[in-house]
Chains A and B, each alone.
Chain A
Amino acid sequence: MRITVASGKGGTGKTTVAVNLALSLAAAGRAVTFLDCDVEEPNAHIFLRPQIEREETTGILIPEVDDDRCTYCGRCAEVCVFHAIAVIGTKVLVFPELCHGCGSCAYNCPEKAITEVLHPTARLRWGKATGEGTPIAFGEGVLDVGQAMATPVIRELKKKGLPAEEESIAILDAPPGNSCPVVETMRGSDFVLLVTEPTPFGLHDLRLAVQVAREELGLPAGVVINRDGVGDDSVERFCAEAGIPILMRIPLDRRIAEAYAQGETIVARLPEYRERFQALYRRIEEEVGR
């Protein structure tokens, strides 16, 4: 089972829900993998406190030109959609920050003058978070500062980190927003859990997130309402109209806000929530089975 936890915007408690769901399932003895796909600002580690066992560099393959072979014919620059390679006189310039690593230049070079080399853009960190029950397999991507392309890093993180076994549970913490990195995180999931606040801002973002999950990707989705009690009932009305199930409500509770501020999880502060998050998972199973 692969579950992406997303929200139109950050700050709605998305990471809180993802982390507490993972901890509650692990406490019940389930094999859980947690991937923090918010590679711009990964912060699930603050709550899960994993022991990092392994780190690796990831990036994209960018062209490197062999001057001895190159005839400066200009074909590489012609095929590059992203203007990441230019031929000026007897010099071939590569602009790594523009390159998407597609390989077209190397493929089309008539002289076989191009080799592709790794240009690092992020680090992947792997480890284990041990709490109650089974240890959680943990992975996160950390985008290097000044690097703009999150999507390839997420793709790599998923490729390497997702478990093959059917019965294990993977929880993917998506980045905020609704653009490409979020879509990449959701792709291939069995279910999208959308965390929202019952306010007009929450609704606005939820609407977009639902559009991405259901219409764009055709995935089943459900909602967790966080800070239930603030704001108005516009989110509920929307969910009823759109036929999106509300799977859980987390009330506005100062104890939860305080726990969050200290980097503590809900289930650590309020253990009774463990059962509630396990129930959330059963609801997700029902929805997926439908």
Chain B
Amino acid sequence: MSTAPKQLVIISGKGGTGKTSLAAAIAHLAAGELPIVIADADVDAANLDLVLHPTRLESHPFSNGLVAEIDEEKCISCGLCEEACRFDAILVPDRTGDPYGIDEVACDGCAACVYHCPVEAITMREPQVGEWYLSETPYGPLYHAHLFAGADNSGKLVTLVKQQAKLRAMDDGRPLVVVDGPPGIGCPVISAASGADLALIVVEPTLSGAHDLARVLELTDHFGVPALVAINKGDLSEQQSAAIEAFCRERGVALSVRIPYDTLVTEAMVAGQPITAWAESPAAQAIRALWATIKARLGLQGKE
């Protein structure tokens, strides 16, 4: 089958809004009705596997971009590379006591220094900065990745994970890809949200939650992705929840549910289970209703 699968991306302005718990619950509910593929696009701090308990089937290295390297033997310590580098990535003997070298963490891989070096002492190399995996979970195949600490541009790895998940869904004729997105509105989120059929934005009823929501909506609008908003722990502040709802109405954004504050959610998380599989709690019920809305919005046929 080659019909394009639907992509649902779950994002939030900030992390810690219960996004991953919600993504796991949605994956659990969706998988009960139709075959899905899951992508954990939060490659900086992939958390979904703590709840989905994947069995790893494949690992692949991921490299992204170059870093400079100075050949100590050839270097004549002229300092021209340091003048050329706009990323403060050249380690200077005056400060380090060592020969000229590269701060690999700071190096942007632009290769400007290579051209400035009069004796061709600088070369570029391509180190591995992460890994991506295919795993099996009780709810379907999971594509996920791990970016080594401090590595730059997780956007590329996010795109790769999403692409693999989508290809798999197309190959198997699975109608839905559930993407757990990264926090923020930067490069990784742009990569995660672009091309999605629906973005589920999770917010908390706080002043900064409302502030983040406005920024995230600007982003989904910018990329033409329809949005649906869920207020997590909606009963924590009636005032802020109402303000967020009013804001959504004003913006013409569909608001789905308030998920109540529910201590069982933390309990389920500690136990490593999706809340919907753990207990028929108030939060689980709200998430079931949310899933029904998502299904309708994406035009998916699931069994009831």
Contacts and interface: CB of A to CB of B under 8 A. Distances in A.
B186 A82 contact: no
A200 B155 contact: no
Given A46-B207, A148-B187, A107 B84 contact: yes
A257 B184 CA distance: 21
A107 B186 contact: no
B153 A180 contact: yes
Interface string A142-174: 010110111100010000000000000000000
Interface stretch (A50-58, A98-106, A271-279): A98-106
Contact of A102 (B15, B86, B212): B86
Contacts of A145: 185, 215, 218-219, 222
Contact of A217 (B50, B105, B183): B105
A148 B155 contact: yes
Contacts of A230: 266
B7 interface: no
Interface string A191-233: 0000001011100110010011001110000000000001110
Contacts of A180: 150-153
A95 B269 CA distance: 44
B101 to A, nearest CB: 15
A101 B86 contact: yes
Interface string B131-171: 00000000000000001011111110000000000000000
Q: Which of B108, B124, B182 has the most CB of A within 10 A?
A: B108
A263 to B, nearest CB: 4
Interface of B: 13-17, 20, 44-45, 47, 50, 65-66, 84, 86-88, 105-106, 108-112, 115-116, 124, 147, 149-155, 182-188, 190, 204-208, 211-212, 215, 218-219, 222, 236-237, 239-240, 266, 269-270, 272
B273 to A, nearest CB: 12
B182 A177 contact: yes
Contacts of B151: 179-180
B150 A212 contact: yes
B86 A261 contact: no
A39 to B, nearest CB: 8
A188 to B, nearest CB: 9
Given A81-B65, A148-B155, 10 more contacts: A9-B16, A10-B183, A10-B184, A43-B212, A104-B115, A179-B188, A217-B105, A232-B270, A261-B236, A263-B208
A201 B44 contact: no
Given A200-B50, A204-B50, A208-B45, A178 B150 contact: yes
A176 interface: yes
B270 A204 contact: no
Nearest to A217: B105
Interface string A255-279: 0011011110000000000000000
Contacts of B150: 178-180, 183, 212, 216-217
A108 interface: yes
7 contacts: A9-B45, A103-B112, A143-B185, A178-B44, A178-B149, A261-B206, A261-B237
Contacts of B13: 41
Interface of A: 8-12, 15, 40-41, 43, 46, 79, 81-82, 100-104, 107-108, 143, 145-146, 148-151, 155, 175-181, 183-184, 187, 197, 199-201, 204-205, 208, 211-212, 215-217, 230-232, 257-258, 260-263
Contacts of A205: 45, 47
Contacts of B88: 155
A210 to B, nearest CB: 9
Contact of B14 (A41, A82, A103, A181): A41
Contacts of B149: 178, 208, 211-212, 215-216
A208 B50 CA distance: 15
Nearest to B16: A11
Contacts of B155: 148
A43 B184 CA distance: 12
Contact of B183 (A43, A46, A177, A262): A177
A209 B5 CA distance: 35
A126 B149 CA distance: 31
A6 to B, nearest CB: 12
